[in-house]
Structure 1
Amino acid sequence: MKKLDTVVDEKISIGISGCCYGSKVRYNNKGWDFLEFLGREKGDYIWHPVCPECMAGLGVPRNSIRIAGGTGDTVWSGEGKVMQQGKGDVTEGLKQGSLACMETLKRGETEVFIYMDGSPSCGVYRTNLKKQKRGNPPGVFGSLLLEQGYFLIPALEMQSPIKWWDWRRRMLAFVWLKKQEIETAEDIYAVWHVLKFLCQEIDNEKSREIGRRIASGQFEDIASEAESFRAEILEMLRKPSTVNKIKQSLWKNYTYYKKHMGLEVEEIMEPTDLRNMTTIASELVLMERKSFEEGFSFGTSPVIYRDRRRR
């Protein structure tokens, strides 16, 4: 089996809702700097902030907008509308603003987007910030992001060290997989060897099904099988894991590391040991670093970023 390089050494370009980047572009002239939660890590990426509502010409400050008669999907099909208080129908403007933002993201070669859920433009699973109301998801721009197959990260989860770590490792695997040439059965085996432990943690039942199919080696049309395989894994990588699963996976892969490398990492705690989310995230980052230094594949986080100057 050929060995694949699982180190990403080019900064990933990430699109982000402008209001989450710190730009005061919300309807009420406010914004949030979610990148502050990443600390020095924010320098590992190239950021592309966009705001569909500003690009629609709605200005700041502005009256809020809402989707009427459907969802962001039906706005694009012509069945829904976007209404602004005091101004009326702003559908065409928001569609043009959304397309302009997508063109910007494409020029920036982005495949990842950090969005503000609750927005009728950028929202994906909510278009309303009221606790008991989801609104009419997805938003108008959110609909485009889904259609284009972006890896979508909710901005609010950047505040949690463990949730961000989970999004980051899956994002790196997602971007890495999209760039892999998968043309032969050997390519499929090699990619699965890299990602199988992460996939098993996310969805064990689906992973076992994929594993059995690969083990059988019965590929009637290798090109079709390769693209189907890629699409299945990309979709799986979009799904968040849970803290319990992450702790179990960390311990399983650490014990494997200890057995095969003959090395111990005192900071790694057992799954049942009580500690806070920040401590767990620190253990995971430590294992990523230790594994990289020893040339060991850490299945919990199989693809990592290292600046090429530090490799």
Structure 2
Amino acid sequence: MSAYLLGKKVRYDGGALSVDDQIVERWRSEGRIVFVCPEVEAGMSIPRPPAEIFNGSGESVLNGEVDVIEKAGGKVTNEFLAGASIALNLCHKYNIDIAVLAEFSPSCGSSAIYDGTFSGKKIPGMGVTAALLREHDIQVFNQYEIADANKVLIGEIV
């Protein structure tokens, strides 16, 4: 699960986005949650400059076609790829096949991300970590789909 959804202050601006959800609380009490912030795990600072995928999505970053760029123009593609690999390794280590990640993030967005212009405009697409996890058959949900993730977890079809 994305760390900042659990109240960890690891977001690019040093903030968190705590999800107040009974399902998440049950998962936490059952010891089911492993949390990660791919950018921080890759060595990026808190806070850090905002970054977006320029002219593409997570899949195109994985394919080497586009970069993840900071607002001031710095390229942070390697850090985002490293963070995605760390998240995938955690999934393998703990036999995780379901992830709940933060929507719109250039790492964790599962159905929409920012468009790379730093204008606040969102486009359909996945972040780098979400795309890598899906490539490895890990089901990725966002914070608005926790009930669906739980249904998969308990064996119901979504």
TM superposition score normalised by structure 1:
0.45
> Residue in 2 aligned with 1:105?
91
> Residue in 2 aligned with 1:49?
35
> Residue in 2 aligned with 1:27?
12
2:103 corresponds to which of 114, 117, 123:
117
> Residue in 2 aligned with 1:138?
126
Unmatched 5+ residue regions in structure 2? Answer: none
| C-alpha deviation, 1:86, in angstroms | 2.7
Q: Percent identity?
A: 25
Matched, 1:70 2:52: no
* SS of match in other structure, 1:113: strand
Structure number with greater Rg is 1
d(CA) in 1 for partners of 2:124, 2:81: 16
Deviations 1:206-229 (A, max 9, x none): xxxxxxxxxxxxxxxxxxxxxxxx
| C-alpha deviation, 1:136, in angstroms | 5.7
Structure 2 matches for 1:130-209, cutoff 5 A? 133-135=121-123, 137-158=125-146, 164=147, 166-173=148-155
User: Cα RMSD (Å) of the superposition?
Assistant: 2.3
| C-alpha deviation, 1:41, in angstroms | 1.9
Contact 1:120 1:137 in 2 (8 A): no
Structure 2 matches for 1:73-88, cutoff 5 A? 73-86=59-72, 88=74
Structure with the largest fraction of helix: 1
Higher RCO (Cα < 8 Å, 6 or more apart): 2
Contact 1:20 1:32 in 2 (8 A): yes
| C-alpha deviation, 1:78, in angstroms | 0.9
* Aligned residue-pair number: 153
Unmatched 5+ residue regions in structure 1? Answer: 1-15, 159-163, 174-197, 199-236, 240-311
- CA gap of 1:149–1:169, structure 2 versus 1, over 3 A, is same
> Residue in 1 aligned with 2:2?
17
Give 4+ residue runs of structure 1 displaced > 6 Å after superposition. none
Contact 1:115 1:153 in 2 (8 A): yes
TM superposition score normalised by structure 2:
0.85
